[in-house]
Amino acid sequence: MSRILDDQTVDRLLPPDAALAGVRTAFELLGAGAAHDQPRQRSSMGAVTLNVMSAIAPTLDAVAVKSYPVVRRDINRASVITVLVYAHRTGQLRGMVQADLLGQRRTAAASALATQLMARPESATACLFGTGYQAPAQITALTEVLPKLRTVLVVGRDAERAATTARGIEDAHPWLTVEAGTSAETAVPRADVVITATGAAKPLFDGALLRPGTHINAVGSNHARRRELDGATLRRAAHVVVDSAAVASAECGDLLANGLDPAAATEFASVLSGEVPARSSSDDITVFESHGLAIQDLVCAVRVLEAARVAELGTVIDAWAPASDRDSRRNR
């Protein structure tokens, strides 16, 4: 039997703290060599691009394939995202999860986990570049790990959209003071943490604006020809960390377009394990390049499917039997 889960069920069963725990588990599995993550592959024809990524985690009895088409040239947003989860032992389909919200929450959780380890714990002001689907979730996740966060500065190209995003964040987190604007020059020098969650192709701010000790979560650039950060930011950074060296080598525009070698960056699993220190000084500028890993989707999807099984949620279907089972029945 398999389960089909929609975004409404994911919303109920994967709150931000559960997504944070899931992403931590994903990086721990990678660090221990207990999982395989296959970077995103893109196939295009005309205006349509199909994105496919996958992961294997034997200890979770799971194999996952995430896929999503992008059908318009003017946006980077997927039309719909799905994750198929199979049993590692038998190949049986365990379930299919609509993964728009799951992807939003695991992406935000990765930023939060990096912030927890790499930012100064007294960080109180965050600067958020972006007004799209991912942006508000980034702040929600930060509230889980930054107890002293009090001010959020939303920066967008469109003042009205920035103001709308700011109002939504303030409504969700009334203890925060949220300001909106279009000026990076005003916002960046005030920030302890900077989040870039945009579809920008060119740098969003001058790295000279960063004050010592700032941590940056670069979320939006997952294409070799797109970058949100400039060379000055990366030259000033004492530590650049990537979620995966293999993924960064293929699609980290922030590094590739600035002429930097992704292989020289630290993989986040090494920071999480304590093998590599996150920062050596409170004045260090640190950067986390987040591109999204299928192992994160796998762990979060497995959590949601198990919780749905216990709560008897979702649509249950009779899944096809693995080929080996069908063959054995025929032989009888």
For the chain, how many residues are written? 332
Find out whether 294 and 100 touch, Cβ atoms under 8 Å: no
Q: Strand ranges (DSSP E) for the chain? A: 2-5, 36-45, 48-57, 62-70, 82-86, 93-98, 125-129, 151-155, 177-181, 193-196, 215-218, 239-242, 266-267, 286-289, 315-317
Other C-beta atoms lying within 10 Å of the C-beta of residue 244: 24
For residue range 252-279, list pLDDT tens digits in order. 989 998 989 988 899 999 999 999 999 9
CA gap 289, 234 in Å, rounded? 11
Please name which of 31, 88, 27, 80 lies closest in space to residue 294, comparing C-alpha atoms. Answer: 27
What the chain holds in terms of domains, given with CATH numbers, is 2-102+294-331 (3.30.1780.10), 108-289 (3.40.50.720)
CA gap 131, 330 in Å, rounded? 56
Burial 174-192 (b: 16+ CB within 10 A, else e): eebebbbbeebeebbeebb
Q: Which residues of the chain have pLDDT under 50?
A: 328, 330-332
Question: What pLDDT does 327 receive?
Answer: 56
**Number of Cα atoms under 13 Å in the Cβ half of residue 150:** 5
Q: Which amino acid is at 179?
A: E
DSSP of 76-96 = ---S--EEEEE-TTT--EEEE
Q: Which residues touch 312 (CB under 8 Å, ≥6 apart)? A: none
CA gap 184, 206 in Å, rounded? 8
Other C-beta atoms lying within 10 Å of the C-beta of residue 289: 29
Question: What pLDDT does 179 receive?
Answer: 97
Question: What pLDDT does 331 receive?
Answer: 46
